[in-house]
Amino acid sequence: MAKTITLLESTRADHRARADALLNALLPHSGRSFRLGISGVPGVGKSTFIEALGLFLIARGHRVAVLAVDPSSTISGGSILGDKTRMEGLGMDERAYIRPSPSSGTLGGVAEKTRESMLVCEAAGFDIVIVETVGVGQSETAVQGMTDCFCLLQLPNAGDDLQAIKKGVMELADLVVINKADLDEAAATRARAQITSALRLFGLHGNPERSPGRPKRAPGGQGLGPDLSPRRHGVAGAGAADQRAQGPGAGSLLGRGGAFSRAADGQRPPRRAPPPAGPGLDVGTHRGRPAAAIQDPPGGAGRTAADHRRGSSGPPGAIGGRAPPARPDGLTEETNAMHDINEQLEAKRRAARLGGGQKRIDAQHAKGKLTARERLELLLDEGTFEEWDLFVEHRCADFGMADNKPPGDGVVTGYGMINGRLVFVFSQDFTVFGGALSETHAEKICKVMDQAMKVGAPVIGLNDSGGARIQEGVASLGGYADVFQRNVMASGVVPQISLIMGPCAGGAVYSPAMTDFIFMVKDSSYMFVTGPEVVKTVTHEEVTAEELGGATTHNTKSGVADLAFENDVEAILMLRRFFNYLPLNNKDKPPVRMSGDAAERLDLSLDTLVPDNPNKPYDIKELILKVVDDGDFFELQPDHAKNIVIGFGRMDGQGVGIVANNPLVLAGCLDIKSSIKAARFVRFCDAFNIPVVTFVDVPGFMPGTAQEYGGIIKHGAKLLYAYAECTVPKVTVITRKAYGGAYDVMSSKHLRGDVNFAWPNAEIAVMGAKGAVEIIFREDKGDPAKLAAREAEYKARFANPFVAGARGFIDDVIQPHETRKRICRSLAMLKDKKLENPWRKHGNIPL
């Protein structure tokens, strides 16, 4: 894209159209997401500019998302999404607004939050993402490489400097808009002179194809820079293309490209099928709601975004927004019969897609929840869902059930793609008998789980069920047991993920409990074995469902769940992002996603991360963000057992699991909860061939009667067992303390750690100097001077990593700033590692 410089004469509405037209001309209409960065100092009129531009684009059929990167931004007051009077008519599926907060004000934090928000927006199908930043500095540097077009707004008043504009033109912006509203003629003259000078300078030294420092783009808009968007890049390997990015008629099925074979001689000539009813999963008549309250643009400029998604502006009740085809005239009797059969089939499908009926669907929406089919539409790539058992009905004839047999029996099952990768899904439909599980309901779930194991693909369950269907008695209980058995057999074979999006009580909780990860939705999902009424009857405790088993409870206190999200949409979009880290099965390797973040990158700020005072805490997450690719880290259980951090990241494109002690909480000590949290994560990584990177700063196990009475001995052994059993590549970095048995437990060389590094200030010893001296020289307790001398002697002897290095327990002592480089090299060396444990049915982990 050649650099463009224009002069916007005013911020008044009649002049804003010039900028609208200019930017709209730059925006592609190919259907892929386009990223537009807009920057400028406060007061330059960005909010007005973005508001006008956003409304202009939405009216022409685009779905627009706006990200406000800088917390000082004024976008919330007058932006496209903040202006309630203009935007109240738009549905949430037609616009989005996310305000990512910079993490600790660091460049890596800004990049991480912005990229995460971009992924959410692009996974949701927004084809234009506007990123607003403030000033020309850190935020712009973080996001300019992620955008297709970076626009700089300047206000040339008396304080403007020509060099500043040149800097913006030459180093950052693709487009500079000079906004000279209400300025005198002298100011306008200066602005034109500045533009002329900048143009002349650019003509002499600039690159008309790309701004200096910006990554070039391959044909088709595929970025070669640090872009991890699931919509813009497929997973490496066959079938990796994101199906949402493909246009109609791409000719691929479940990631397999290629033309369809020609008809053999003697076959009927193929007839062109009518256009598809609409993109994605057909969710039935309840999606045929009125379009957003924006008038069509004059002169037939285009359809609304809602029309684009539905495929046409058909009447409400039409499938995918398209009315059922009328009977053709002049057909033969045979063709008429087939047409009647097709009409009957479509009628049955429409009835099945309505689930429990429009009234119950409206009730689901009134609670702020999506229906089962809407959830799958959002989760899976457009046009890839293949539904199974749409017409299955329950077999119960008691209690009047014989007259109430809705097709599908309360669960939608099948398979589809997430970013071009196969996944099997089931989504419980609360509009049908409250999502209660029956015998046939369970059979549908078991069928997709069995098939997932046959072909080696993950299983995702969207749970929204009132429990077992009481009208069926023991048959429904037997159905639960059948599902439980599949969970056990699939464990360690294919990844299993549960997304709790409503009630999940009684025996129903044990199926998610046996899956690998559990995500929940705040204020609308809960899990418990016995409900509040039973608790009150038996123990006389007054407790609400949210307090007993809500998302906050299970993400902070119990540790049952891994993450909690604000609503259904956020939960599903983050699940799509999370899916990108997982292999398809236990014989597969994690997907590789290369970026522009060099494996040899050094970060000198790490040299001062650890304080000089050994008792002063620091946040280990800063180290993680500065070491992984592009600062992109997906943390799990962030609010539970905060003294240890777990999650997924990438090192030189390779997915890794990360475990790290966090000195910011409980000094990084291991306790019961943190041991269980980390042990389960390490075992998952080992089961699915994901390398484990461990950052160690641990002063030992947490002392106290509560820990001992709670079984810290057995629970701490779980983490030791997990690391010792683990056969995937293991790289360990000791950043400061590694004391006592906790040193052994945290992936030490003695537990078959492959590569173990230590920073120069690392201390590897049985305990800290003060405690050690008080035990060794207890006879000198009354002499502080002697104790101080002994303590200095102990520090000189053990407060460094070289004693362990002399015995080969540490492979190398490295500078903190080269941590990323050394880890990436180690993982590259270990990529073909082969290690097997002795044959056995299974070990006996201390549960």
Q: In DSSP terms, which residues pair with 150 in a beta bridge?
A: 37
Distance CA 464, CA 501 (A): 5
Task: Tell me the DSSP string of 69-119.
Answer: -STT--HHHHSTTT-HHHHTTS-TTTEEEE-PPPSTT-HHHHHHHHHHHHH
Label the pairing between strands 526-528 and 503-505.
parallel
Structure tokens at 77: 């007051």
Task: Give Rg (Cα) of the chain.
Answer: 30
CB 133 within 8 A of CB 140: yes
573: Cα separation from own chain's centroid? 6
3-class secondary structure, 463: strand
CB 555 within 8 A of CB 565: no
CA angle at 599 for the pair 596 and 601, rounded to the nearest 5° = 90
Distance CA 464, CA 355 (A): 14
- DSSP-derived letter for residue 353 is H
- DSSP-derived letter for residue 468 is B
Structure tokens at 459: 């299983």
Distance CA 754, CA 833 (A): 10
Please say if 317 is a catalytic residue: no
Q: In DSSP terms, which residues pair with 655 in a beta bridge?
A: 650
Distance CA 188, CA 178 (A): 10
User: Which is the catalytic residue, given 225, 239, 492, 507?
Assistant: 507
User: Which is the catalytic residue, given 292, 717, 742, 758?
Assistant: 742
Structure tokens at 118: 């971009």
Query: 614-648 b/e with 16+ CB inside 10 Å = b?
Result: beeebbbbbbbbbbbbbbbbbbbbbebbbbbbbbb
Positive or negative: CA dihedral 185, 186, 191, 194: positive
Structure tokens at 246: 């493909």
Please say if 13 is a catalytic residue: no
Distance CA 153, CA 449 (A): 54
Structure tokens at 383: 């046009």
CB 681 within 8 A of CB 657: yes
Distance CA 63, CA 122 (A): 10
3-class secondary structure, 530: coil
Cα pseudo-dihedral 242, 246, 249, 255, rounded to 10? -20
Q: Where are the alpha helices (DSSP H) in 245-318?
A: 305-310
Please say if 266 is a catalytic residue: no
Task: Tell me the DSSP string of 552-619.
Answer: HHHHHTS---SEEESSHHHHHHHHHHHHTTS-SSTTS-PPP---SS-TT---GGGGGTS-SSTTS---
Structure tokens at 286: 């309840």
User: Which is the catalytic residue, given 125, 321, 506, 740?
Assistant: 506
Cβ atoms within 10 Å of 421's Cβ, excluding its own: 27
Distance CA 38, CA 172 (A): 11
The amino acid sitting at 814 is I
* Unique residue bearing structure tokens 């669960």: 411
Please say if 105 is a catalytic residue: no
512: Cα separation from own chain's centroid? 20
Task: Tell me the DSSP string of 610-661.
Answer: S-SSTTS---HHHHHHHHSGGG--EEESTTSSTTEEEEEEEETTEEEEEEEE
3-class secondary structure, 240: coil
Q: Which of 376, 409, 403 is nearest to 391 (CA)?
A: 409
Measured CA distances, 177 to 5, 74, 145, 619 (Å): 6, 19, 19, 41
User: Which is the catalytic residue, given 741, 771, 805, 828?
Assistant: 741
- DSSP-derived letter for residue 534 is H
Which residues are known catalytic residues?
506-507, 741-742
